[in-house]
Structure 1
C-alpha cells in the first residue's frame, strides 16, 4: 500500500504572466492578466513539493539522533579536559581583569558625563561627539564584563 505522504506531489499551479508596468518595470501576475495588452504568458515547469519529516523530528527508525555518538568519535580523558577547563578559566579571568581595567579607565575619563575638554576640541560638537563615543564605549565594556562573568559562572569547578 503506497502512503500518500511518501511521494512528491505536484503543487496547484496557475498561469503566470509577465506584464510591463506603467514605468516599464516588469510585473508578474497569476491567473488572468486582466486588460493589459503588454502581457506574455510564461512557460514555467511544474512545482514539486516534498513533505518534511514527522512533527516529532525523529527519524523513521524510531531512534533519537542525539542518543549516542559514533564509536569513532574522539574521546578526551578527564585529566586533559580538566587541564583545558583550567586554561579556559585562566584566559577568561585575564580577559575579565583587562576589561574591568578598561571600564574603570573609561569611567574616569567620562567623569560622570563631563570629561575634560581636550585641546583639539575648540568646536563644541567635537566635544559632544567624544562624550557620546565614551558613553557608547562604557556601555559596550559593561556588556563585555557582564558576558565574561556569566561565562565564568557557567564553568565547572
Structure 2
C-alpha cells in the first residue's frame, strides 16, 4: 500500500517537527563509595539532580573603533604628497598608454586569427581555440585599461 503524496508530506513534516524539538535532559551528580564523581542523565539512588539553569554564552568583546592614523604615525606634508600623487599619475598614464597600444595589437591579432588557415574548417576545434585565446587576450587588456582609468580617477 502506498501513501498519497499529501499524507507523505504530512508525515515528513511531523517527523521533522519531532526531530527539531529542543533537547532537554536532567543532569545528576553521583558520588560512589570510593569518592569517584559521576555525572549522568540517568537518575540513580543517592544521585543529586543538578539545576544548571540556562547556558550562558560569553559576550563578544567590544571592538575599538580606530579613527585615523595612530599618533606616532609619520606625517607627510602637502607638497610631498602632491609630488607623490603626480609621480603615481605619471606612472599610471604610462601604463595606460602601453595597455592601449597592447589592446590595439591584440585586436588586430584577433581579426587576423579569425581568418581560416589552410586546411582549417570554420568552427573547428583549432580555429575556436585560437580565437578564444585571442579574445581572452583582448579582454585582459580591456580590463586593465578600465582598472587603470579607475585608479587614475581616484588620484586627488
TM-score normalised to structure 1 length: 0.54
Q: Where do 1:70-109 residues align within 5 Å?
A: 70-109=70-109
Q: Pick the structure with greater CA Rg.
A: 2
**Aligned position for 1:115:** 114
1:93-149 CA-to-partner distances (Å, cap 9, x unmatched) read 0110111111111111111x8534568x96842232111001111112111111111
- Return the alpha-carbon distance in structure 2 between the equivalents of residues 94 and 141 of structure 1: 14
Whether contact under 8 Å (2:113, 2:134) holds in the other structure is: no
Q: Does residue 151 of structure 1 match 2:151? A: yes
Looking at structure 2, the residues matched to 102 and 69 of structure 1 have their Cα atoms a distance apart, in angstroms, of 40
Query: How far has the Cα of 1:72 moved from its partner?
Result: 1.2
Partners of 1:84 and 1:118 in 2: CA distance: 51
Residue 91 of structure 1 aligns to a residue whose secondary structure is helix
- The aligned residue for residue 60 of structure 2 is 52
User: In the alignment, is the contact (CA less than 8 A) between 2:113 and 2:130 conserved in 1?
Assistant: no
Aligned residue pair count: 104
- Does structure 1 conserve the Cα–Cα contact (< 8 Å) formed by 2:99 and 2:144? yes
TM-score normalized with structure 2 length: 0.54
Instruction: Show CA shifts across 1:6-30 (max 9, x none).
Output: xxxxxxx99xxxxxxxxxxxxxxxx
* d(CA) in 1 for partners of 2:69, 2:149: 32
Q: 1:52 aligns to what SS in structure 2? A: coil
User: Which structure 1 residue ranges, 4+ long, deviate > 4 Å from structure 2?
Assistant: 121-124
Q: 1:3: which partner in 2? A: none
- Cα deviation code 1:76-95 (max 9, x no counterpart): 11111111101100110011
Cα distance in 2 for partners of 1:96, 1:118 equals 33
Is the alpha carbon distance of 1:118 and 1:83 closer, same or farther for their aligned partners in structure 2, counting shifts above 3 Å? farther
